[in-house]
């Protein structure tokens, strides 16, 4: 993995107006980079803004504030149609909800081939069919499935169709929003092994949004932890699991269910109480150790540094 950034996200904000006077700050000032060829895992509480972050990066929403640079170019500044098209092909998204994200009136073949058609990637019908069949096989489905409609598939099967669709246009960056949550573990392993292999073969970069922490740890190079629209901790995957500093990260780690009944019977969870924080000043995102960032106040910063030094 290089240290060259593919994406730079700078002070990104996404605020939704939900009433005349009420605003939800779904994403509230994110700063982070995603390196070329890496998998960046994004985890955090339900509703903390992970999907919104992904959707804003890929420009499904206009950002309220802030910038996203892709290969050094400002994504949100683009207006030119052909440039937009090129960019759309580079970045693809696999959606969280395999039910809502597939058009129920389209055959699987056409769902998968839609992007190839838009970007003129196939020359004739025969080639189109072949590519669709290859893709179906790649994601562990059957050629026969090409002629069926989404409602004829189970949840997990639909998610694999979504993955095939994203892969169809040969993107360089994929935002995978909980791509495996709807899959059973054996298919999860297949898909994760597949994503890793595709990453090696095609030098793909991933933003991997998930809440299954054991899988995130397994697939990610670095992991960012979000809480209420903000990034509270960011570190190498191993470092984060070994030396979590932010209490929210600790509570997440303590809640991972393990496939071991005896362990589960005696599990102890660590609860996060946001009011336990030092409130003497606004917390900032600070580098506590090499490439280990935590949202903290000056007092907490000193405290965390000492904590890291003792391990």
Partner 1 sequence: MEKLLEVNNLHVSFDTYGGEVKAVRGVDFDVHKGETLAIVGESGSGKSVTTKALMQLLPKPPARIKEGEVLFEGRDLAKLSEKQMQKIRGKDLSMIFQDPMTSLNPTMKVGNQIMEGLIKHQKMSKGEAKRRVLELLELVGIPDAESRMKQYPHQFSGGMRQRVVVAIALACNPKLLIADEPTTALDVTIQAQILELMKNIQKKTDSAIIFITHDLGVVANVADRVAVMYAGKIVEIGTVDDIFYNPQHPYTWGLLGSMPSLDSADEDLYAIQGSPPDMIAPPKGDAFAARNDYALKIDLEQEPPMFKVSDSHYAATWLLHEHAPEIEPPESVKRRMKGMARSASGNSEGDQL
**291 lies in the binding site for ligand ATP (CB under 6 A):** no
Contacts with ligand ATP by CB under 6 A: the residue count is 20
Q: Please answer whether residues 43 and 211 qualify as being in contact, where contact means their C-beta atoms are separated by less than 8 angstroms.
A: yes
- Residue 40's nearest CA partner among 229, 291, 244, 258 is 291
Binding-site string for partner 1 from residue 95 to residue 124, where x marks contact by CB under 8 A and - marks none: -xx-xx------------------------
SS (H, E, C) 5-68: EEEEEEEEEEEEECCCCCEEEEEEEEEEEEECCCEEEEEECCCCCHHHHHHHHCCCCCCCEEEE
Cβ neighbors of 92 (< 8 A, separation 6 or more) are 115, 166, 167, 169, 171, 173, 174, 175
Give the one residue of 51, 53, 101, 188 binding Mg ion; rule: CB under 5 A.
Answer: 51
**26 lies in the binding site for ligand ATP (CB under 6 A):** yes
Instruction: Give SS3 for 119.
Output: coil
Minimum separation from the CB atom of position 209 to ligand ATP (A): 7
In this structure, what token pair is assigned to residue 127?
């080639």
Stretch that binds ligand ATP, among 1-9, 64-72, 116-124, 152-160 (CB under 6 A): 152-160
**24 lies in the binding site for ligand ATP (CB under 6 A):** yes
Give the one residue of 73, 155, 257, 271 binding ligand ATP; rule: CB under 6 A.
Answer: 155
Q: Is the dihedral of CA 87, 182, 1, 66 positive or negative?
A: positive
Give the one residue of 28, 50, 66, 109 binding ligand ATP; rule: CB under 6 A.
Answer: 50
Cβ neighbors of 250 (< 8 A, separation 6 or more) are 244, 270, 272
Stretch that binds ligand ATP, among 1-9, 146-154, 189-197, 200-208 (CB under 6 A): 146-154
Q: Which of residues 52-91 bind partner 1 (CB under 8 A)?
A: none
**56 lies in the binding site for Mg ion (CB under 5 A):** no
Q: Cα angle at 118 between 116 and 121, to 5 degrees?
A: 40
- Residue 141's nearest CA partner among 98, 108, 118, 97 is 108
Instruction: Give SS3 for 170.
Output: coil
Residue 148 touches which member of partner 1, ligand ATP, Mg ion, none, C-beta under 5-8 Å by kind: partner 1
Give the one residue of 16, 137, 197, 291 binding ligand ATP; rule: CB under 6 A.
Answer: 16
**184 lies in the binding site for ligand ATP (CB under 6 A):** yes
**159 lies in the binding site for Mg ion (CB under 5 A):** no
**40 lies in the binding site for partner 1 (CB under 8 A):** no
Contact footprint for ligand ATP (CB under 6 A):
16, 18, 24, 26, 46-52, 96, 151-156, 184, 211
């Amino acid at each position: 993995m290089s240290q060259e950034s593919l994406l730079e996200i700078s002070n990104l904000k996404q605020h939704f107006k939900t009433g005349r006077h009420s605003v939800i700050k779904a994403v509230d000032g994110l700063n982070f980079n995603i390196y070329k060829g890496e998998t960046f895992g994004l985890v955090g509480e339900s509703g903390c803004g992970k999907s919104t972050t992904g959707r804003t990066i890929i420009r499904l929403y206009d950002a309220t504030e802030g910038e996203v640079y892709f290969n050094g170019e400002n994504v949100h500044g683009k207006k030119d149609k052909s440039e937009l098209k090129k960019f759309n092909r580079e970045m693809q998204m696999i959606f969280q909800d395999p039910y809502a994200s597939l058009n129920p009136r389209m055959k699987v073949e056409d769902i998968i081939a839609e992007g190839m058609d838009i970007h003129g990637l196939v020359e004739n019908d025969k080639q189109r069919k072949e590519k669709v069949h290859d893709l179906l096989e790649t994601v562990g489905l059957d050629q026969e499935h090409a002629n069926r409609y989404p409602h004829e598939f189970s949840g997990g099967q639909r998610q694999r169709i979504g993955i095939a669709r994203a892969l169809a246009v040969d993107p360089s960056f994929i935002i995978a929003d909980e791509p495996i949550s709807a899959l059973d573990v054996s298919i999860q392993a297949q898909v994760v092994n597949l994503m890793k292999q595709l990453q090696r073969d095609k030098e793909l970069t991933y933003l991997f949004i998930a809440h299954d922490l054991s899988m995130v740890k397994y697939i990610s190079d670095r992991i960012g932890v979000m809480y209420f629209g903000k990034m509270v901790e960011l570190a190498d995957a191993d470092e984060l699991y070994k030396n979590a500093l932010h209490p929210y990260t600790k509570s997440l780690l303590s809640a991972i269910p393990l496939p071991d009944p005896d362990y589960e019977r005696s599990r102890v969870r660590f609860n996060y109480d946001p009011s336990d924080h030092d409130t003497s000043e606004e917390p900032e995102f600070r580098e506590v150790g090499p490439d280990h960032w935590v949202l903290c106040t000056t007092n907490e910063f000193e405290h965390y540094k000492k904590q890291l030094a003792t391990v």
